[in-house]
Amino acid sequence: MDDFEPRHTTTKLDAAVDDPKRRDFLRLGFSVLPCVSLSLLLPRSLWAAGTGTVTASLLAPKLVAPAPSPLSKPKPPRLLMIDPGHGGHDPGAISLSGVQEKDITLDIAARMAKLMAAEQGLRVGMTRQNDSFLSLADRVNCGKEARADLFVSIHADSAPNHKARGLSAYTLSQKASDQFASLLADKENHADVIGGVNIPVEDKDVAAILFDLAARRTRNTAQRVKVGFIKGMGRRWTLLEQPMRAANFAVLRSPEVPSLLIETGFLSNREDEAILIKPHKRQKIAALMAKELSFLLRSSLFG
């Protein structure tokens, strides 16, 4: 039996390939058609003025600056929003000697802000700069409206266990990491917060996906900041046993701004109180925290 030899039949595609002009046209078609197909997946609100406009822009692209995304963070300098806990008619924890948490947190926050504002590439804001009361919702909104890169709430609470002492850091979690963190969160939560990301997409399913992605990225960044911060502080300052914890703190619920709550110590503990009531000790802890947070804000965590 003779070997089978397939016959080559000239097709219109072969003729087109042999023609240089048609070959160029086909190359253009192969490069444009995937883009046109992808554009069909976009929400209707993103189509400028009909199919003709979109196709024309793909075939003849123009160098137009993209509109700023509502989810994008501000470029350097990086912005840290410091939140001194409590204030006004809310004194926070009160030590056995009568020291009020609201005064300790405001002093430490002001010292931190002064140190960090003097550094290149950083800006600092404070939710309050005097003995005034702010709701938890107002505190969260301060970070959101300023489009802060990081929100840090400073505290010196009364611990469930009076033997507990040392610095610790907390991130947001619907389920507390332990009972200690859960009790602290319950004590701090005087108001609830419902945050929202402004996503200009009409499709509710797409908006929900984008919201979830933004919130997840925010939580992941906060978690990594917590780890880096505690590792750095642990080399120079006394830490609480298990210093990295999580709980459902209302002040940390912004889905847009990575947020951290720092307990500088506990006024319910005599040793911590003896440290926190001394101005030079507050200056030291403020300087150490400013150094660690400055380093993290300049790191790849914030792009």
Verify that 103 and 51 share a domain, yes or no: no
Residue 199: the pLDDT is 41
* Residue 21, phi-psi category: left (phi > 0), alpha (psi -120 to 50), beta (remainder): alpha
Q: pLDDT category, 75, cuts 50, 70, 90?
A: low
Domain span at residue 16? 12-59
Which tokens go with 221?
A: 């960044």
- Whether residue 67 lies inside any domain: the answer is no
Which residues does residue 98 pair with via DSSP β-bridges, in sequence order?
A: none
Q: pLDDT category, 216, cuts 50, 70, 90?
A: confident
**3-class state of residue 162 by DSSP:** coil
- The CATH number assigned to the domain holding 114 equals 3.40.630.40
pLDDT single digits (tens) 131-189 = 999 999 999 999 999 999 999 999 999 998 999 999 999 999 888 888 888 888 888 87
Which tokens go with 127?
A: 């939710």
Cα–Cα distance measured from residue 186 to residue 57, given in angstroms and rounded to the nearest whole number: 55
- Whether residue 65 lies inside any domain: the answer is no
Verify that 161 and 245 share a domain, yes or no: yes
Cα–Cα distance measured from residue 230 to residue 224, given in angstroms and rounded to the nearest whole number: 10
Verify that 144 and 281 share a domain, yes or no: yes
Q: Regarding beta strands 150-155 and 239-247, do their DSSP bridges make them parallel or antiparallel, or are they unpaired?
A: unpaired
Query: In the predicted model, what is the mean pLDDT of the chain?
Result: 78
Which is more confident, 119 or 201?
A: 119
- Whether residue 124 lies inside any domain: the answer is yes
Cα–Cα distance measured from residue 266 to residue 244, given in angstroms and rounded to the nearest whole number: 15
Verify that 147 and 175 share a domain, yes or no: yes
Give first-to-last CA distance, the chain, whole Å.
70
Verify that 152 and 190 share a domain, yes or no: yes
Lowest mean pLDDT among 82-91, 143-152, 169-178, 268-277: 169-178
Q: pLDDT category, 19, cuts 50, 70, 90?
A: low
φ, ψ of residue 296 in degrees (nearest 5): -70, -40
Verify that 53 and 110 share a domain, yes or no: no
Q: Regarding beta strands 259-263 and 167-172, do their DSSP bridges make them parallel or antiparallel, or are they unpaired?
A: antiparallel
- Whether residue 142 lies inside any domain: the answer is yes
Residue 58: the pLDDT is 32
